[in-house]
Structure 1
């Protein structure tokens, strides 16, 4: 059942326009597949597919929580998480290029 569901989800994934047109992956390539792997419980494989998945999820979860709850230094935490996420995306993209 899970395999059937994941194969139907894979059919609905958006293709990377950058990869289609230029043959080169973009900084976001692997995000959809990584989210699917997390949904299947493959946490290490999700990290290998898209290393920025965990900082990105942490950032999104914190933003969601901070809309309903107040945190001390919330803006600073958001800024640090955003910088960590962007840095992870850029570094992993550069490593992919090498």
Structure 2
């Protein structure tokens, strides 16, 4: 990947307890996206593709309010949480 990996925050859950947390892979998936490796990013952390628009929408909503923004943010947040939980369970099983 790149030299920025040396600055990535390690997962304390994985270091202390020996298994990954719900956020493991998020940083690496974001780096994959920055390097144009979109499939690798999805394989690393499937929720990355709903988290990015969610955070962008929340950020835009802070400055520019638009109709139904809260409903859209809520639906996107629920979808993201479901993807995170399902992919985590799938990762634990395999």
Q: Normalized against structure 1, the TM-score is what?
A: 0.89
Partner of 1:51: 46
Structure 1: 4+ residue segments shifted above 4 A: none
1:3-57 deviation digits (Å, cap 9, x = unpaired): 6xx1x20011111101101110111000010011011011111011000101111
Within the candidate set 35, 41, 66, 1:40 is matched to 35
Residues 3-42 of structure 1 mapped to structure 2, 5 A cutoff: 6=2, 8-42=3-37
RMSD across aligned positions (CA): 1.1
Aligned length: 93
In 1: Cα distance, 2:71 partner to 2:24 partner? 28
Provide the secondary structure at the position in 2 that maps to 1:54: helix
Extract unaligned runs of 5+ from structure 2: none
Q: Normalized against structure 2, the TM-score is what?
A: 0.93
Partner of 2:92: 97
1:96 to partner: Cα distance? 0.4
